[in-house]
Amino acid sequence: MDEPRRTIERVAACNVSLLRGGSGEPLLFLHGARGGSQWLPMMEALSQHFEVFAPEHPGFGRSETPLWLDTIGDLAYFYLDFIETLGLEYVHLVGTSLGGWIAAELAIRNQTSLATLTLVAAAGLHVNGIPKGDIFMWSAPELARNLFHDQKYAEWMLLAEPSQEEQDIQLRNRLTTAKLAWQPRLHNPHLRKWLHRITVPTLILWGANDKLIPAQYGAAFRDSIPNARLEIIENCGHAPHVEKKQEFVDVVTRFLQGARP
């Protein structure tokens, strides 16, 4: 498999950094709040079956911060433009955490270009009596330990020594996340009432031990999206695509291939 290509795409008057690799049906991966500057092992695995597109959201990483960026809804409309600009059709849309929220907001607006929707530990909803973790209040060690069930991943995260450029990107990602999701915390009070509009095959994927957005939120998405399917990955925290990479890839690949007409 060739190395993924990094390009800069001009969409909606914004230059966006994009990693892409593989071949086959297009799979658009929307990253979470920590950013998407790396080609992750799960992307490499998925690129054996699909052409994977992994952009950095406007306001994150190496992408520009456009003047129009105020809400998660703005990013939903941006990615509709992104799909049109790149000429993508029959897109498998996969979003994790903040990216899952963007994906859900996109799908309630216009799903004509989508083949499937996969929401992984997605933000966007509020469930009464089930508090979420607060990424804006946790210290760096708390964040690392609360993201993962297997603490070896937390240790790797804490031992990493980012370059100055990587530190600047992390700060930028945190600032943009706060702008988009500070109040109300990590949700849109109007999202749930429109989830019934989603009619493409939908997979909801969650870690059983998620301390940031508990697995009950997965059930809330499932119950709000017609015919959605919920899969819970045991012994897993908020990042199944990292912590349980092979199981994540297997579940997602089976779902996407099974959804083909």
Looking at residue 96, its pLDDT comes to 98
Strand order of the β-sheet with 14-22 is 5-11, 14-22, 51-55, 26-30, 91-96, 114-120, 202-207, 229-233
**Sequence ranges of the domains in the chain:** 5-258
> By C-alpha distance, which of 93, 108, 101, 105 is closest to 197?
108
Looking at residue 261, its pLDDT comes to 67
- Give the pLDDT confidence of 118-167 residue by residue, as tens digits: 999 999 999 999 999 999 999 999 999 999 999 999 999 999 899 999 99
Indicate the pTM of the whole model. Answer: 0.97
- Rounded to 5°, the CA angle 64-65-70 comes to 150
Report which of residues 159 and 261 the model is more confident about: 159
Alpha helices, H only, the chain: 41-46, 72-85, 98-109, 140-147, 151-159, 164-181, 216-224, 240-243, 245-258
Distance CA 42, CA 37 (A): 14
What CATH number has the domain spanning 5-258?
3.40.50.1820
- Give the pLDDT confidence of 2-34 residue by residue, as tens digits: 789 999 999 999 999 999 999 999 999 999 999
List CB contacts of 204: < 8 A, sequence separation 6 or more. 118, 119, 122, 218, 221, 222, 225, 228, 229, 230, 231
> By C-alpha distance, which of 39, 34, 48, 52 is closest to 94?
52
Evaluate whether 115 touches 200 at the Cβ level (below 8 Å).
yes
User: For 197, which DSSP code?
Assistant: G
- Give the pLDDT confidence of 174-200 residue by residue, as tens digits: 999 999 999 999 999 999 999 999 999
Inter-CA distances, 123 with 11, 151, 216, 236, 249, Å: 25, 23, 12, 17, 21
In 3-state terms, what secondary structure has residue 217?
Answer: helix
List CB contacts of 79: < 8 A, sequence separation 6 or more. 28, 30, 102, 106
Question: Rounded to 5 degrees, what are φ and ψ at 234?
Answer: -70, 155
